[in-house]
Structure 1
C-alpha cells in the first residue's frame, strides 16, 4: 500500500492513537523543581531564529535541481543510503513524539533523537538524554528544511508524517529521481527556468547556478500541473483573465449558486459569441448553460492572475502568473491551482526573464504592476522553461531533500514523462 499522510493518520486513529497524541504537548505533570529549572534554562538559552537560519542554510546552495551536479550528488546519496537500508534503516517513530517541542523532557525525546541521528540531522552521541534541547531543536528544523516543511522546530503533523516514511522508501525515491535528472540534465541550456511540481518551487538558472528561487503554488491532485518543455516568449502585464471552460463548469457555476453576487464582486464580465455583454441574471445557473459564454475578469487587485501572466506555448493552456492570494505561499502543501503555476515574488522573475530586452529593470516592472496598465511585452530572447517532477535531490553540502509523491508518480515507478 502506498504510504500517505492520510493513510498513516487513519491507521493511527484506528488504533486509538490520535486521541492520545495531544497529551504529549500538554504540561508535564509530576516534574520536579529541577526538571522545571532545566526546561526553563533550555527555553531561555536557545536562539530559535538562529536555528532556523542555520537549517535553511543547509539547503540554500547554488546547484539547480535539474543539473549534472545534482545527478552526481544523487549518486553519492544513494551510495550512503544503500548500506544503511541494508542494515535495517531507521527505527519507526512512536506516536509519542507527536507534538514534542523545545523544553519537553520525556522518554519519547530519546526516540526522537535516535531518529534524527539516523538521518544525519542530529550529530551522533553515545548517551542520549530525555531533554528536547537546543541541539534537538536545530535537528528538527534541519529535518523540516530538508523536507520542504514550515521550519518551526515542533514535531507537528507534517513533520511526524515525514519522519514515519521508511528509509527504503526514501532510497527508492533517490534511485527514481537520479534517472529523471539524468534523462534531462544533458539537454539543458546555459539559461533556463524550472518548476519542480512536488516541491512547489521555481528556479531561474544561469551558467549552471541558481540565481533566483521562488516559492510556487501548483496544480492539485485532480488538476495536475503537466510536465512540459517550452520557452517563455511573452509577458502580459495586468492581464485580463479569460476563465477556462473547465473552471466555469467545475467552480464558477457552484460559486454563483452559493453567492449570486460573486461575478460582480470579482469584476468578471460575461460575453456571448458576438461580443455582447450579458448580465448574470441572463443565465440559468441551475444548468451548465454558462459554459456557452466567455467570462473575462478585469485587471486589478482581484484578478486571479494578479499583475502578470508569463506565457509559453504548450498544448495544456497553462502558464505562470502572479496571484492576489499570497497567503498560500506560506503553506506546507501548495497544491491548489487548476494546473497553472503561481509564483511568489514574481516581479523579480519577470525582471530576469526580460533581461535581454534591456529596458526592463525591477523598478519599471514594479511600476507597471502598480499602474494596472494593460501591456504585452515580447521576450527578445525566449527562455527555456521546464516543469518537472523531482521528489528527491542532494546538494554539494551532502544535504538530501525529499518531497511527498503528490501525483503518485513515484509509486508508479515513472522515470519519463510525455511532455
Structure 2
C-alpha cells in the first residue's frame, strides 16, 4: 500500500494536469511512498509467471525481458522501501496520456493505481508492481516515442526512413535525467512538441465552448468584402479572435481594416489564396467542428513519432510537404529557400519517401514514360502525324523524348535523387498552375516554382558553378549535368498541419485522404480493441 502525503499528490497532479512541460525542480524530489520492505526479486521465472497472470500485457514480454537482461535482473522501480521518483513521474505521465494525443488505455491500469492509492488497503505484491511499471514504461514509450510499427507504415504508403529505438537505452537516459521524460529532441521530432502545445490550445477552446457556429443564409449568401455589414462578420471576428488571428474582439459587424488583417492571417494559415473576399466555402471551412481540428493535430503528432530526429539535424536537406504544396531547402539549421510546388494527382499520387539528390540536370530531355505514351500520346500521334515535331519531341531508341527548351515539360532544370518510383523535382513551363490553391496536377513528380532559385541556392558555395554558368546551362540549348560534390537528403512527407517558426499552426487539405485512413487505423473502436 503506497502512502503519498497529501501535499505531494497535490503538487504532482497540478504539474501534470495543467502543464505538460512543467516538471518538479531537480533538487526537490517527489515524496516516495513508504511501505513495509519487501525485496523484489526479478528472474525469468517471475517474468513468465507475471505475463501468465496479466495476459493482456503479453505483447510487451520480449521488450520487458530485454530490459531486465540489460539491467542484470535488478529492480528498476524500487529504491530501498519505495517506488522511485521516475516511477511516480511515469505513472503521472500515463494518467495524462491524452495530452500526448493518444487515446490508447494501459491494460490493468486499475492494478497499478492500487500501488499509488493511499485511500485503500490493497497493495499488489512488489514483484507485480515492478513488472507492471516496466510494462507500463514499454507501453508509454511504444505509444509516445515510436507510434505505428514500421511494417504498418509501409502498408499505408509511408516510405520515409523508419525510426529505430532501444527501450533499454531510453530507460537508462531517463534514470540519469528524468526531465527527458518531459521533452527530448533526440527522441521526438521538434515539431511534435509544437503540435502538443497547439493541441492544448484547441482543447481549451473546445472545453470553454468558444467555437461558435457562424450563421449564414445559404440561399441568399453573397461573398463578403471590406465595408460590408453582416451578423456573420461579427461572428467571424469572434472566431478569429478565439484562434489568435485577431488580438481583440471589438464586436463590430462591419468588415473593417482590422478584420481584413485577421482574414489575411487566417487564409495564410489555411493555405488559401490571399485576398479579402469571404466566400461560402470559407464559412463552411470555419464551421467544421473543432473536434476535426483536434483530430488533425493528433494525427500529425503521430506522424512526427515516425520521424527519426537525426533527419532534421542534417546540415543540408530538402523537405517537401505534399498537403501544403511547398518545398523547403534547409541549410545550417535555417530555412534557406521556400518554394510553391505542385504534386501528383489522385491517379498518380506523389510517393512519401526519401532519397539523396546527387545531380542537377540543366536544360534536360524529358524521357516520356511509356504509360503516358500509351494512354495519352498514342492517340494524338495517330490523329496528327506532326504531333511530335509540334511538341519538340522525337523518337529515341524506340521511346519518345522531348528535346530541351523553354516548353519542355520539365522546364529548364531537374533535380535527381535516384529512386525506384522514378520521382524527381523539376521546373515547369506551366507557371499559371501555381495560382491554384489545390495543386495536384502532375503524374507524380514535384514541379517547383522557384526551380532556378533552388539551383542557385544549392550551388552558391560551389566555385565551379557561378551564376552566369548556371544561367547559360539553363538556356535550353543542350542538356548539361552537374554532379553534386555532396549528396543532399530529400524528404517527401505528408503533414496536414504544421506549426511554423512564429508559433502559428497552419492547416492543409488532406489531398490524398491520408488523414481519414490513419484515423481509422489509430482511433476506430476495432483498432483500440486490438491494442488492449
What interval of TM-score do these two structures reach, taking the shorter chain for normalisation? 0.7 to 0.9
Question: What residue in structure 1 maps to residue 252 of structure 2?
Answer: 129
C-alpha deviations, 1:247-289, integer Å up to 9, x for none? Answer: 2233223545676654232111134xxx3xxxxxxxxxxxxxx
Distance of 1:114 and 1:257 partners within structure 2 = 60
User: 2:323, 2:510 within 8 Å by CA — same for their partners in 1?
Assistant: yes
Task: Please tell me whether residue 231 in structure 1 is matched to residue 356 in structure 2.
Answer: yes
| Higher share of residues assigned helix | 2
Task: Please tell me whether residue 81 in structure 1 is matched to residue 202 in structure 2.
Answer: yes
User: 1:347, 1:362 within 8 Å by CA — same for their partners in 2?
Assistant: no
The alpha-carbon distance between structure 1 residues 378 and 173, as it changes in their structure 2 partners (threshold 3 A), is same
Task: Please tell me whether residue 118 in structure 1 is matched to residue 239 in structure 2.
Answer: no
Matches within 5 A, 1:92-241: 92-96=213-217, 99-125=223-249, 127-156=250-279, 159-184=282-307, 186-188=309-311, 189-241=314-366
Distance of 1:94 and 1:212 partners within structure 2 = 41
Question: What residue in structure 1 maps to residue 487 of structure 2?
Answer: 382
Aligned residues: 329
User: 1:356, 1:380 within 8 Å by CA — same for their partners in 2?
Assistant: no
TM-score, scaled to structure 2: 0.58
Question: What residue in structure 2 maps to residue 282 of structure 1?
Answer: none
Q: Which has the higher contact order (CA 8 A, sep 6+)?
A: 1
Question: What residue in structure 2 maps to residue 6 of structure 1?
Answer: none
Gaps of 5+ in 2: 1-187, 523-532
Gaps of 5+ in 1: 1-66, 276-292
User: 1:240, 1:298 within 8 Å by CA — same for their partners in 2?
Assistant: yes
User: 1:268, 1:295 within 8 Å by CA — same for their partners in 2?
Assistant: yes
TM-score, scaled to structure 1: 0.73
> Counterpart of 2:517 in 1: which secondary structure?
coil
User: 2:205, 2:242 within 8 Å by CA — same for their partners in 1?
Assistant: no
The alpha-carbon distance between structure 1 residues 237 and 123, as it changes in their structure 2 partners (threshold 3 A), is same
Distance of 1:141 and 1:98 partners within structure 2 = 19
> Counterpart of 1:413 in 2: which secondary structure?
helix
2:507 aligns with one of 385, 388, 402: 402
2:391 aligns with one of 266, 270, 273: 266
What is the CA distance between 1:138 and its match in structure 2? 0.9
What root-mean-square deviation, in Å, do the aligned CA atoms of Structure 1 and Structure 2 show? 2.3
C-alpha deviations, 1:71-100, integer Å up to 9, x for none? Answer: 222111111111222344522333457611
C-alpha deviations, 1:350-404, integer Å up to 9, x for none? Answer: 1233356432233332232125231111111000000000110113433110001
What is the CA distance between 1:159 and its match in structure 2? 3.1
Distance of 1:268 and 1:90 partners within structure 2 = 56
The alpha-carbon distance between structure 1 residues 89 and 182, as it changes in their structure 2 partners (threshold 3 A), is farther
Matches within 5 A, 1:267-286: 267-271=392-396, 275=397
